[in-house]
Amino acid sequence: MTLFSDGIHRTTKILLGIALAGGLFFGYILSEVDEGGELAMLASYQPTTPTRLYDNNGIVFAELYRHKQQLLKYQDIPPHVVQAFLSVEDNNFFNHFGIDFMAISRAAIVNVLSGRIKQGGSTLTQQLAKTVLQNRKRSFIRKFVEALFTLQIEQEYSKEEILEIYFNLIYLGHGTTGLASAADVYFHKDVTDLDVAEAALLARLPKAPVDYSPYKNPAAAKRAHLEVLKLMAGQGFIPADKVQFIHDEFWEKYWPVVITQSPSQSTWGTKLNRAPHFTEFVRQKLLKVLGEDRLYNGGLKIYTTLDVRKQEIAQEELRKALKKHDDLVSGVTVNYAGGADRGLVGLYGLLGSVFPVGVPFVSKLDDKANFRVALEKELIDAADLLTLLTPEADNESASFTEFQKRSAIFGKNLHVEGAAITIDHTNGYIQTMVGGYEFTPKNQFNRAVQARRQTGSSFKPFVYGAAIAERVVGSGTGIMDAPLTTLTEEGEGWSPQDFDGDFQGMVPLSRALSLSLNIVSVQVFLRTGADAVIDFASRLTKADKSRFPSSPALALGIAELTPYEMAVGYSIIANKGRNVIPFAVRYVIDQSGNVIYNEEEKVRQELEREREDGSIQVISEGTSYILRRMLMMVAMAGTATDGLRNPEKGNYKGFAAGKTGSTSSFTNAWYCGFDPKLTTVIWMGFDKSSISLGRGQAASVLAVPIWGRMYNRFYGGQGYPNFGNEHGEDLPPDEVQGGGTCAYNGLTPKPGVCPMTQNLTLKPITVAGVTKSVQGNRQCDGDRDHHRSIDFREFLQQEYQISDEEIGKTERKFKPKTD
């Protein structure tokens, strides 16, 4: 065989091998093209159905989805919108077969000359193919698959059908999938209403939705917008002499919009969500149970416990109160003198609401560095702050300028916050949940369930309840409200004070609670014991015992609890001492109608199990009855009365029981209250827990009126439920026994002389051979005990064996309380 023939033979084999390999490779590519059924998917494409949340009346109040989609038909898309996108993405779309070799060559030349990737050559159909195949693993083979899939799309669909699919699938930033949702997010309008300028803005987004986002990068978006308009003019879609006019007119109106929008603006900002904090609470729970894909893309129906009408009432009333308080602080009038500047008004108003300050005289800062540190931490000690201000005017100084700048920043970021949560204690339904003034990308903290704050006097029912359960006291037991000093664990003296600094002398327990007498609460705590109080509070609030300090100061509410935990505790009192298991999700149904999650049934089964084994009674029914009757006095003749009943405040006319709570320096304001069906907790304060709400801004002033207005609107001003049976009788359970004490002081009444107040106690019980029963006080002497000034020193020495050094001196006084 000649050398020539050998060469021919080898060449033939090589060519045959190449052909075979190429055939196999091409066959493999063909088999891969529609492995995932993408072509069939395009033919029957439907957008993902959002998951919808329903309230307990079947009203849709929120939707969950990853990307917002609405299907468009090609005929619904204005011609100038199509022209804008084609000018940018594929100006030869109607002339190529899916791959534009001229565009590829042109892009290659531009990129080589510029030394970087400046222009792409892919067609709109190729972009669609890439979008559809994006979930496939990236590889060298995938490029070939995308190319062949592009050709298949062009073969199977008309140009108009390809555009329709493209406009429904393209991602345009900020959570928008498809042109319809993008028009909503960026312009709050339908696609049919988009004008040329708006279309030009959207047309630049497919390649770089972040870089050209008007919300994230408005300057870049503005430059790109002009480029698109020029491209449209170059294609003959708009007159060239109109380009600048269209551009300038559009941005004159749109620029103020984009610079005030959050960069995190997305479909979340336009979606249906009438209860954002509650929705987020549900979302986080179900994300763990169902997983992300099923929750967002499953088209689920989530039936919740929310009452959206009550929720919107709670949101409106809380927000109105918070805004009123902010306006009060920022609207203080200042008389300017000695160099004071109007830039100080905001900060002066804030300080003036916290403690007494005169007309500000400001010139310079003696210690600018220290002041800066204090401001940056947003923790200002009022006394220290005032020492930095001197009466010499020098408002041109750098220090003064720094003071103005820092105080302005501080005042701008300082806003009172609040929370509200309502539980139907008859079934555990969470009916309202408001976690703050608003729910935004920068303010998603849910204070209703996440904010632990000192509870102040709203904790006292747990102290009194423990004492009642232990048969230490009854509702009318007389307790001495007098100066008291106890030793802390560190061996230091601690002297609690009443709200107004005065003392009542011997008082019945129910009056002590309704007037929120601090020293009586400490006295009850000491008689009952820390362990019993902590156990009682832990069982009701379901908070771990480790969170309750054993100090007597616990009696005044130094424990930090969330509004949710307080609502659980009060719900159990309201529910006759029976366990309440609050929950937000009733059940979840998939698109086939199957129940895939049922929390309501789990709660029902748990409560049924507790009924059977006897553990459902968290506290005895008798204890809850006595506590509830005492808490009704707080609403009828105590610290909550004015805030609830005053027509200018709460204007509430129904039955109620509850307790106010204000912490030292007015840093927190609570009202925890219930009627026969609903328990609601209101909290107000700053996120920086050391900042005061203002001098005199107690719970009775701030929190109670919110509760009253909410409940008044819940019932439409009429048809309030009552605590009695069907005959209107509020009868005690068998374990409660009645009795009476002197209404003045809680002593055993002197017949024919003392007016009586009810003294409800639990009947005696015998445990391990030891009988527990409430012990009565000595008999009242009549007029002498009713009116004389009590020698507190002698009483405390005899009753509690407290040393002379630990006792202060005072006289008996009577004043209304506002805690």
Helices (H), ranges, 429-477: 447-450, 460-469
* pLDDT range class, residue 691, cuts 50, 70, 90: confident
The pTM (predicted TM-score) of the whole model is: 0.72
Residues 710 and 811: their CA atoms lie apart, in Å, by 41
List CB contacts of 223: < 8 A, sequence separation 6 or more.
Answer: none
**SS3 at position 188:** coil
Residues 275 and 766: their CA atoms lie apart, in Å, by 51
The token duo for 788 is 């004389």
Residues 307 and 35: their CA atoms lie apart, in Å, by 48
341 Cα distance to chain centroid = 37
pLDDT at 734: 95
Q: What is the dihedral of CA 209, 215, 216, 219, to 10 degrees?
A: 100
* pLDDT range class, residue 104, cuts 50, 70, 90: low
**SS3 at position 338:** coil
764 Cα distance to chain centroid = 46
Measured in degrees and rounded to the nearest 5, phi and psi for residue 793 equal -60, -50
Burial class (CB in 10 A: 0-12, 13-18, 19+), 418: buried
Average pLDDT over residues 528-534: 97
**SS3 at position 431:** strand
Do 574 and 425 contact (CB within 8 A), yes or no? yes
What's the topology of domain 66-269?
Penicillin binding protein transpeptidase fold (1.10.3810)
Do 497 and 526 contact (CB within 8 A), yes or no? no
Burial class (CB in 10 A: 0-12, 13-18, 19+), 802: middle
**SS3 at position 716:** coil
- The answer on pLDDT for 558 being more than 60 is yes
SS3 content of the chain, % helix, strand, coil (to 5): 45, 15, 40
Q: What angle do CA 292, 294, 295 make, to 5 degrees?
A: 65
Question: By C-alpha distance, which of 386, 378, 399, 319 is closest to 358?
Answer: 386
Taking only the tens place, the pLDDT of each residue in 643-672 is 999 999 999 999 999 999 999 888 999 999
CA–CA distances in Å: residue 549 to residues 429, 545, 558: 31, 8, 8
The token duo for 33 is 């093209």
DSSP 8-state symbol, 733: P
DSSP code string of 741-777: EETTTSSBPPTTTS-EEE--EEPPEEETTEEE-PPPP
Structural domain boundaries in the chain: 66-269, 335-415, 452-561+738-819
List CB contacts of 30: < 8 A, sequence separation 6 or more.
Answer: 148
List CB contacts of 145: < 8 A, sequence separation 6 or more.
Answer: 29, 32, 33, 133, 136
Residues 414 and 691: their CA atoms lie apart, in Å, by 9
- The answer on pLDDT for 388 being more than 50 is no
Residues 212 and 173: their CA atoms lie apart, in Å, by 9
Taking only the tens place, the pLDDT of each residue in 737-779 is 999 999 888 998 988 888 888 999 999 999 888 899 999 888 8
Taking only the tens place, the pLDDT of each residue in 434-450 is 999 988 767 789 999 99
- The answer on pLDDT for 499 being more than 80 is no
* CATH node for 452-561+738-819: 3.40.710
DSSP 8-state symbol, 76: G
Residues 99 and 76: their CA atoms lie apart, in Å, by 27
Lowest mean pLDDT among 438-447, 459-468, 620-629: 438-447
Residues 273 and 68: their CA atoms lie apart, in Å, by 14
Taking only the tens place, the pLDDT of each residue in 163-197 is 998 998 888 988 788 899 899 889 989 999 999 99
DSSP 8-state symbol, 269: G
- The answer on pLDDT for 575 being more than 80 is yes
The token duo for 608 is 């049924």
- How much is the mean pLDDT over the chain? 79
Residues 260 and 256: their CA atoms lie apart, in Å, by 6
pLDDT at 72: 87
Residues 203 and 82: their CA atoms lie apart, in Å, by 9
Lowest mean pLDDT among 254-258, 402-406, 812-816: 812-816
**SS3 at position 670:** strand
Residues 92 and 103: their CA atoms lie apart, in Å, by 9
Between 66 and 497, the higher pLDDT residue: 66
pLDDT at 423: 99
Residues in the chain: 819
Do 458 and 659 contact (CB within 8 A), yes or no? yes
